[in-house]
Amino acid sequence: MTSPIDIEGGGTSVVVDGEPGPETKGEAVKLDGRSPGQLMWLRFRRDRTGVISAYVVGFFFLVGLLAPLIAKLYGKNPYTVYADERPDLFDSAGVPVQPNGGIGGDFWFGLEPGNGYDVFTKLIYGIRTSLMISVAVTVAVVVTGILLGVAAGYLGGRTDYFIGRVIDFLLAFPAQLFFIASMPVVVSLFVSPRDETPTYVRVVALILVQWFLGWMGLGRILRGTALALREREFIEAAKVSGASPWRIIRKEILPNIVTPLLVQATYLLPNFVTAEAGLSFLGVGIVEPTPDWGQMFSKASTQLVMQNDITYMFFPGVSMIIFVVAFNLLGDSVRDAFDPKTAR
Amino acid sequence: MKEDLVLPAPREKSAGADGEPLLEVSGLVKHFPVKGGFPIRRTVGAVQAVDGVDITVHAGESFGLVGESGCGKSTTGRLIARLLEPTGGTITYRGQDISHANRKQLAPIRSEIQMIFQDPYSSLNPRQTVGKIISGPMEINGINPEGGREKRVRELLEIVGLNPEHYNRFPHEFSGGQRQRIGVARALALEPKLIVADEPVSALDVSIQAQVVNLLQKVQRELGIAFVFIAHDLAVVRHFSQRVAVMYLGKIIEVGDRESIYTRPRHPYTHALLSAVPEVNLATDDATARERIRLAGDVPSPISPPSGCRFRTRCWKAQDKCATEEPPLVQISGNREGHLTACHFPEEPTTEARDEDIVLDPALAALEEGTPGPEPAQEA
């Protein structure tokens, strides 16, 4: 990785006769080329904004992943109703006696007015829930986008026409409205309205609904990329040597769509995080007592919390802004690293 | 390159034009549909890219295909390599009709017909190492050479004049000429009997062109591989090919051995083509002056080609007969054996200067009329 790129090494640099020794090895190592991926990684590492954003994003994922461990070390969990456990901390209306929701050594981010949940554990568990859902949606969208986009682009003709019209049709939907309207419908497909809805059903419904209207943009981009790649001569070269369409897609096209795929995925994920938060805020996503990022906003905007504990809003708000901004900056850096020629 | 480099022995003695035909193309037609109309899109016409082409390529022979841009050379090459489905006609490879064979049926002969592409920047997958690119065809065809595929790839790299240590490099680390060598190595990986080279040097620097052409020539001679060499550079084709066919608007208008085409051409278009080749002549060098023919206009649209002889719209000898009757590709009197020409009124078999230059381009003619007199002052 440290050796300089030796582009015009053709035929002159290594003439080793006899003496296979450590020197030969060194030369061999030097002659290993850098893959486009390695070059991208080198460029990315030079981008300070990108690296810092990557650390921030990584930190959020780590927090989400290790939420149970952190909560254990911290000694609390998000489901404990402190209004019952420690009634001394609350007044008769259920508002923490201490200012700012009772922020202190025991409760770092304070307590939630009303039920008295611990805000810190609630936040990290909320991040965990939101990120899990968003990652699942992103994975589903990426898989769908690859399958349909590459199929449309590579096969062309009728397949392309059909998939293209489906994309047009779905893009015409007002997404946010559709989410709100269809969430209860999707949930009721799984559970009868009279029963208590299990959390996992809501999670699955959220993933399904967002996936259904989320894949078209990526699908279109990948269709375009596949369409452009199909006309390249290396595809014809593969055909001349008798490669099957499946092999061409797998070995020749897929490695070449990694660039737009990664760039788009880094833009999609923060969008899904905010969309999911929006749904939970509106009350059609994750509901109490399951902690969720967006649902904390909805809690913060209730009259009880608004009037008595304005700092409550601060924690989900600031953390989400940092996360979304960092992730979008990361997306920009990934794009810059992958194709340095396009100006922003 | 090492002296003791062992090239695999030619499987067949290159017998030149006398050998049995390796590839026979007869009446090959390729029409691309033109869609149009509203609201229902339908086929409103066809681009007659290739319209009745007959070619015979013998084992170990190098067959050149020349012509203007857009005359169907590349389409013919792609049809032979079966990248395109012919609209009509037959392609016979070693007695086997492959004109409409599908991928499975083609599998056994895929390794015998390979292709070298024009653009070295788009013919190599940027995400694969050189080793992977060259060993890909072997992998697809399940070929396991002695000593492993990697050893074979290194051999091939050495044959095409690259460093075998470049095995793990990526295409973006090479220059155009080196990339084209990689393309040649990939075509050689399957030990083909026929290589369709689609303008293999036209995207390269002139200094690199010679290297690649010499490499191809070496490969052709030492490995006994037959070539269909498509180019618009007449000098390159003359250097490389034993037999040459001249194409115009989807048809072959003249075919013959190199000597016949280059020194005894009969078709007016071949004359025009040859006279357009710039030649470096020293002032003192009083070699016989060459004829001078300047055509006017462009190749007519292949969607609606002219009736009869397709060249008649730009030909200075065209008569009524040319519009009504299509001249057959035959050996006309005065031609040598195997030299076929499709023309009603062939030219003299020479390229020497004629009494009067033929300048069909009105602008050029006007300009030249002005030059002897005191006119140029007016122009300046």
For B294-304, write each residue's pLDDT tens digit: 888 788 888 88
Mean pLDDT of B256-263: 90
Q: Work out the average pLDDT over A298-317.
A: 85
Residue B7: inside a domain: no
Domain architecture of chain A: domains with CATH:
44-338 (1.10.3720.10)
For B162-194, how does the pLDDT look when each residue is reduced to its tens digit (9 = 90+)? 999 888 888 888 988 899 999 999 999 998 999
**What confidence score (pLDDT) does residue B96 get?**
87
Taking only the tens place, the pLDDT of each residue in B330-365 is 888 888 888 999 999 888 887 777 777 778 778 887
Domain count, chain B: 2
Kindly report the nearest CA distance between residue A214 and chain B, in angstroms.
28
Q: How confident is residue A27, by pLDDT bands cut at 50, 70 and 90?
A: very low
Residues 60-79 of B with CB under 8 A from A: 78
Are B101 and B65 in a shared domain? yes
Identify the CA nearest to B134 among candidates B166, B103, B107, B104.
B166
Whole-number pLDDT of residue A30: 53
Among the partner residues A10, A236, A241, nearest to B117 by beta-carbon distance: A236
Q: Beta-carbon neighbour count of residue A254 at 10 Å? A: 16
- Position B372 confidence tier, pLDDT thresholds 50, 70, 90: low
pLDDT of A336 higher than 90:
no
Nearest to A242 among B106, B126, B174 (CB): B106
In a domain, B156, yes or no: yes
Q: Which residues of B touch A24 (CB under 8 A)?
A: none
Cβ–Cβ of B173/A33 closer than 8 Å? yes
A38 touches chain B (CB under 8 A): no
With DSSP H G I counted as helix, E B as strand and the rest as coil, what are the percentages for chain A, rounded to 5? 70, 0, 30
- What confidence category does residue B12 fall into, taking pLDDT thresholds of 50, 70 and 90? very low
Contact call for B110 and A241, based on CB within 8 A: yes
Which residue, among A234, A239, A251, would best test binding to B if mutated, counting the most B CBs under 10 Å from its CB? A234
Higher pLDDT, A193 or B91: B91
Flag whether B310 is in a domain: yes
Same structural domain, B332 and B296: yes
Question: Can you tell me the mean pLDDT for B284-300?
Answer: 74
Residue B120 lies in a domain: yes
| Domain limits for position B267 | 260-279+290-370
Question: Which of A56-65, B80-89, B197-206, B271-280 is the least confident region?
Answer: B271-280
Q: Is B4 on the interface with A (CB under 8 A)?
A: no
| Residue B6: pLDDT over 50 | no
Contact (Cβ atoms closer than 8 angstroms) between residue A241 and residue B114: yes
Residue B375 lies in a domain: no
pLDDT of residue B295: 84
Distance CA B152, CA B158 (A): 10
Same domain, B202 and B98: yes
- Asked if residue B340 and residue B200 are part of one domain, the reply reads no
Pick from A229, A291, A302, A297: nearest CA to A260:
A229
How many angstroms away from the CA of A147 is the closest CA of chain B?
Answer: 20
Q: In this structure, what CATH number is given to the domain that contains residue B132?
A: 3.40.50.300
Band of residue A25 on the pLDDT scale cut at 50, 70, 90? very low
Contacts with B117 from chain A: Cβ below 8 Å: 233, 236-237
A24 touches chain B (CB under 8 A): no
What would the two tokens of residue A229 be? 């790649």
Chain A's closest residue to B178, CA to CA, is: A10
**Average pLDDT for A43-69:** 93
Label residue B287 by pLDDT band (50, 70, 90). low
pLDDT in tens, A86-117: 888 888 877 888 877 778 778 888 888 888 88
Q: What single letter denotes the amino acid at residue B170?
A: F
The DSSP code sequence of B135-190 is HHHHHHTT---TTHHHHHHHHHHHHTT--GGGGG--GGGS-HHHHHHHHHHHHHTT
In a mutagenesis test of the A interface, which of B112, B165, B178 is the best target, namely the one with the most A β-carbons within 10 Å? B165
Greater confidence, B305 or A29? B305
Q: How far is CA B233 from the centre of its chain?
A: 9
Sheet holding B340-341, edge to edge: B113-116, B194-198, B226-230, B62-67, B243-248, B251-257, B340-341
pLDDT tens profile A214-245 = 999 999 999 999 999 988 999 999 999 889 98
Of chain B, the percentage scoring pLDDT greater than 90 comes to: 29
Out of B241, B271, B304, a domain closes at B241
Contact A241 B119 (CB under 8 A): no
Element (H, E) at B367: helix B362-370
pLDDT the model gives residue A4: 41
- Please indicate if any CB of chain B lies within 8 Å of the CB of A318: no
Are residues B221 and B339 part of one domain? no
Return the number of other C-beta atoms located less than 10 Å from residue B238's C-beta. Answer: 18
State yes or no: pLDDT of A313 exceeds 80. Answer: yes
pLDDT tens column, B41-79: 888 888 999 988 999 999 989 999 998 888 889 999 999
Q: Check whether residue B222 and residue B321 sit in a common domain.
A: no
Q: Is residue B284 part of a domain?
A: no
What local confidence, expressed as pLDDT, does residue B378 receive? 45
Who among B103, B119, B175 is closest to A233 (CB)? B119
Q: Are residues B267 and B176 in the same domain?
A: no
pLDDT of residue B19: 58
Q: Which range among A6-10, A27-31, A67-71, A152-156 shows the weakest confidence by mean pLDDT?
A: A6-10
pLDDT at A102: 78
Q: Are residues B333 and B228 in the same domain?
A: no
Give the pLDDT of residue A14. 39
Alpha-carbon separation of residue B96 from B22, B75, B101, B196, B336 (angstroms): 10, 21, 10, 18, 30
Judge if B97 and B224 occupy the same domain.
yes
Contact A32 B169 (CB under 8 A): yes
Instruction: Examine the domain organization and report whether B132 and B203 are in the same domain.
Output: yes
Give chain A's radius of gyration (CA, Å).
Answer: 26
- What is d(CA B70, CA B67) in angstroms, rounded to the nearest whole number? 8
Nearest CA in chain B to A234: B123
Look at residue A24 in the predicted model and tell me its pLDDT: 40
B221 and B149, same domain (yes or no): yes
Q: How confident is the model at residue B109 (pLDDT cuts 50, 70, 90)?
A: confident
> What does the pLDDT read at residue A325?
94
Q: Is residue B348 part of a domain?
A: yes
B-chain residues near A339 (CB < 8 A): none
Mean confidence (pLDDT) of chain A: 84
Q: Which of B127, B175, B195 to mutate to test the interface with A (most CBs of A within 10 A)?
A: B127
Residues of chain A with Cβ-Cβ distance to B136 below 8 Å are: 238, 241, 243, 251
In a domain, B152, yes or no: yes
Q: Where are the alpha helices (DSSP H) in A191-253?
A: 199-212, 216-230, 233-240, 245-247
Whether residues B105 and B215 fall in one domain: yes
Rounded to whole angstroms, how far apart are CA atoms A218 and A185? 26
Chain B CB within 8 Å of residue A18 CB: no
Picking from A11-25, B4-18, B241-255, B277-291, which range would have the lowest pLDDT averaged per residue?
A11-25
